[in-house]
């Protein structure tokens, strides 16, 4: 095998090497069927078993209690920006949003297309470097739900605590940090995540929702945009993204083998500490974007003192085998996405490269 790149892409992102190897071995013969999983009917016994097993793995790993559905949908998190208000924002109610980055902003703008929506807390004025205070949120009296984004990939800001919303459903976009740490799922009414960062390849979107929220789908909605359509058909109403679900199954097994979410959280902290240390000990050569208390374990964002220095850094990093370090086009700078599958060795190599580059530049 040729040397694998140090992959810090923001999504689609790194997958565990063992998962890729297993998929390669089974590419033409899934479980002795003589077919690839991409070739078989989603109505077949083999695929139904895969679908059900993947749901159960999710429930076990994430500690999902009874009374929740696990759905495998399509359209990415961006489609969920619309499906949530379409299904859960009735007339006379207000959708409340906490905004501390680009994706929360997009979710809020989409909700406004379907009803009354309000941003009740934001860190926009301070440059999205932190998360609003979660303990003193003031919800509208007629709140339909509260929406948060647990990790903002562009700004590199992550939530560490979640608000108590009482009877108001808490909805979370966890696209970029789902299954990266243990969480109390019972605090949330609905969680959603595109797979292409921590769960597998692009193509499948996971929705974890309380039964009573699934049952609220209005009858006037188009069939494919109703949560109850997919729940009542076990996510098999139409042809699913079968290969993406299959790879997600392998990724969930890999997470289990790595010690579950507790093991993954420990490893994520160890590997990202290496890069944050390289930033903090650089005497201002590297400048972190997020305030230290809100630094993401999934997306490390930083700048150099000048654009010329950043261009030189990115060019040298590319030549050294590092991929995906350029910041999002909307903000520039640099970003290392360190999702679950990014190995410790890649983060150690990046930290060492950053130190070497700093010394050579001074």
Tell me, rounded to whole angstroms, the distance of Cα 165 from its chain centroid.
22
Is 184 in the active site?
no
Tell me the pLDDT band of 3, cut-offs 50, 70 and 90.
Answer: confident
Task: Kindly give, in sequence order, each residue whose CB lies less than 8 Å from that of residue 292, ignoring residues fewer than 6 positions away.
Answer: none
With CA atoms as reference, report the closest residue to 120 among 145, 102, 104, 96: 96
What was the pLDDT predicted at 2? 66
Residue 273 appears among annotated catalytic residues: no
Q: Can you tell me which residue has the tokens 């998962």? A: 19
**What tokens appear for 246 in the block?**
């299959």
Q: How far is it, in rounded angstroms, from Cα 267 to Cα 258?
A: 9
Question: Does residue 19 contact residue 247 with C-beta atoms inside 8 Å?
Answer: yes
330-352 per-position pLDDT tens digit: 999 999 999 999 999 999 999 99
Q: What is the pLDDT of residues 148-176, one digit of tens each?
A: 999 999 999 999 999 999 999 999 999 99
Burial class (CB in 10 A: 0-12, 13-18, 19+), 25: exposed
Q: How far is residue 25's CA from residue 91's CA, in Å, rounded to a whole number?
A: 52
The predicted pLDDT at position 302 comes to 98
Q: Which of 173, 177, 271, 326 is catalytic?
A: 173
CB 30 within 8 A of CB 46: yes
| pLDDT recorded at residue 272 | 98
Q: Could you give all domains of the chain from N- to C-terminal order, each with its CATH number? A: 18-257 (3.40.640.10), 260-361 (3.90.1150.10)
pLDDT of residue 251: 98
Q: Give the pLDDT mean for 248-276.
A: 98
Return the pLDDT at 338: 98
In this predicted structure, what is the pLDDT of residue 161? Answer: 95
Given 69, 197, 210, 271, the catalytic residue: 197
Residues 6 or more apart whose CB falls under 8 angstroms from that of 277 comprise: 351
- 188-217 residue pLDDT tens: 999 999 999 999 999 999 999 999 999 999
- Catalytic, out of 103, 177, 228, 326: 103
pLDDT tens-place string over residues 294-331: 999 999 999 999 999 999 999 999 999 999 999 999 99
Which pair of structure tokens corresponds to residue 33?
């069927």
How wide is the angle at C-alpha 238 spanned by C-alphas 235 and 244, nearest 5°?
Answer: 65
- Has residue 1 got a pLDDT over 80? no
Q: How many CA atoms lie within 13 A of 285 on its CB side?
A: 18
Q: Please write the tens of the pLDDT for every residue from 213-237.
A: 999 999 999 999 999 999 999 999 9
Instruction: State pTM to two decimals.
Output: 0.97
| CA 127 – CA 155 distance, rounded (Å) | 9
Digit-coded pLDDT (tens) for 31-62: 999 999 999 999 999 999 999 999 999 999 99
pLDDT of residue 362: 83
Neighbours of 2 (CB within 10 A): 4
Phi-psi bin for 350: left (phi > 0), alpha (psi -120 to 50), beta? alpha
Is 87 a residue whose pLDDT tops 60? yes
197 is catalytic: yes
Q: How many whole angstroms separate alpha carbon 274 and alpha carbon 85?
A: 40
**Alpha-carbon dihedral angle through residues 183, 260, 194, 83, given to the nearest 10 degrees:** -40
- The pLDDT mean for the chain works out to 97
């Amino acid at each position: 095998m040729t040397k694998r790149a140090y992959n810090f892409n923001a999504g689609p992102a790194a997958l565990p090497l063992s998962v890729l190897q297993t998929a390669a071995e089974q590419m033409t013969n899934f479980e002795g069927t003589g077919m690839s999983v991409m070739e078989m009917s989603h109505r077949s016994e083999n695929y139904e078993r895969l679908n059900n097993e993947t749901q159960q793995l999710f429930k076990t790993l994430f500690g999902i209690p009874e009374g929740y559905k696990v759905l495998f949908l399509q359209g990415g998190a961006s489609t969920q920006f619309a499906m949530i208000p379409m299904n859960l924002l009735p007339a006379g109610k207000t959708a409340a949003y906490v905004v501390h980055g680009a994706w929360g902003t997009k979710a809020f703008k989409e909700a406004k297309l379907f009803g009354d929506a309000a941003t009740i807390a934001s860190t926009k004025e301070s440059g999205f470097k932190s998360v609003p205070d979660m303990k003193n949120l003031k919800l509208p009296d007629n709140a339909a739900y509260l929406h948060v984004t647990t990790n903002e990939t562009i700004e590199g800001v992550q939530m560490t605590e979640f608000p108590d919303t009482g009877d108001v459903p808490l909805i979370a976009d966890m696209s970029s940090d789902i299954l990266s740490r243990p969480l109390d799922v019972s605090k949330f009414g609905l969680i959603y995540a595109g797979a292409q960062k921590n769960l597998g390849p692009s193509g499948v979107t996971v929705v974890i929702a309380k039964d009573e929220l699934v049952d609220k789908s209005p009858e006037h909605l188009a069939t494919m945009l109703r949560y109850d359509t997919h729940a009542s058909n076990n996510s098999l109403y139409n042809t699913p993204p079968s290969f993406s679900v299959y790879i997600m199954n392998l990724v969930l097994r890999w997470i289990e083998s790595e010690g579950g979410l507790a093991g993954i959280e420990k490893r994520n902290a160890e590997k990202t500490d290496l890069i944050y240390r390289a930033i903090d000990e650089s005497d201002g050569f590297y400048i972190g974007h997020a305030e230290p208390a809100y630094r993401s374990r999934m997306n490390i964002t930083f700048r150099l003192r000048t654009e010329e220095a950043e261009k030189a850094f990115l060019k040298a990093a590319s030549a050294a085998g590092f991929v995906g370090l350029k910041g999002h086009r909307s903000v520039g700078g640099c970003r290392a996405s360190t999702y679950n599958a990014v190995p410790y060795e890649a983060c150690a190599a990046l930290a060492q490269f950053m130190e070497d580059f700093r010394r050579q530049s001074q």
